[in-house]
Amino acid sequence: MVHLAYRRRPVALPYLLRALWPLPRSGELRPQLSASWSGHRVDPRELAEYLRITSLPPGDTLPLLYPLTFGFRLVMAILTHPTFPVPIFGLLQIRNQIRCHRPIPVTAGMDFATSIAAVRLVARGAEFDLATRVQCGDEPVWESVTTIFARGRFGEAQPPAALTRAPDVRSPVAAEWNLRDADHWRFGRFTGDYNGLHFSDSYARQLGFRRALYHPPRVLAECLGRLPVSAAGPACFDAWIKGPVPHGAKVRLHADTDAGATTFALYAEPGRPALVGRLHSMENQ
């Protein structure tokens, strides 16, 4: 069992170096690997920057995706560790499940813990579920599962995860706007994700994209801010990352609320959605 313990915000440089100059991999597909970060407190200026970039309103509690964004450094630390079986540049984030048990005050101290909760072999590769839990004192207040896909041949496919299929959203347009082509490095600093795909058009073109791509949590936050309902109170949020959202894209948000749940699809180009989400209160699970 390998545990990475941080008493302050994990510094990005060590795992960036591991990503650029990867060490030999252990070969174990299901490594016992976890990470924790104790005592995080919100920097008011940083929070104000986050709200400005995502167009979210200020309040006494943190936005639903704040822990996903700022706790992502633990995910990065795990994905770049030598015991993780696949180099990080061969990985894609494809899903997020979030359960907020109660709103987190902006003044609260938070402890983050992330571990590899499950590994599934699928038809074209493997899926890794990284579970993150946030506690305020002894109380669990927020948790998520971030699913990472690795393409390759790892073995015979297993039964799919419960959330493999995204909802089919056939709703009217709720909002349309141009995503701001700015603040990419600032948002990268929040997440600790400095993948060149999010910053460099030339690097993105080498990977087959016409422009650099937004960090998914940034665009998801902008979607949540434009839904007809808010994410206040205990809430569940599931998100599927289906395609790229290039810098400066004009996007359309289709959304509908039915039976206490709001589903949405964000289109950056005609044909298929780039992001799909479902938000509902924990009472409607």
Domain 2-284: give its CATH code. 3.10.129.10
Percent of residues in the chain assigned helix, strand, coil, to nearest 5 = 25, 35, 40
pLDDT digits over 41-76, tens only?
999 999 999 999 999 999 999 999 999 999 999 999
The model's pTM is 0.93
pLDDT digits over 153-195, tens only?
888 888 888 888 899 998 899 999 999 999 999 999 999 999 9
List phi, psi (to 5°) of 34: -145, 165
Tell me the domain boundaries of the chain: 2-284
Q: Is the dihedral of CA 268, 270, 276, 281 positive or negative?
A: positive
Rounded to whole angstroms, the Cα distance separating 75 from 12 reads 11
pLDDT digits over 84-110, tens only?
998 888 799 999 999 999 999 999 999
Tell me the CA distances in angstroms from 127 to 33, 158, 160, 164, 216, one per residue in order: 16, 10, 10, 10, 18
Rounded to whole angstroms, the Cα distance separating 16 from 214 reads 19
Rounded to whole angstroms, the Cα distance separating 276 from 267 reads 9
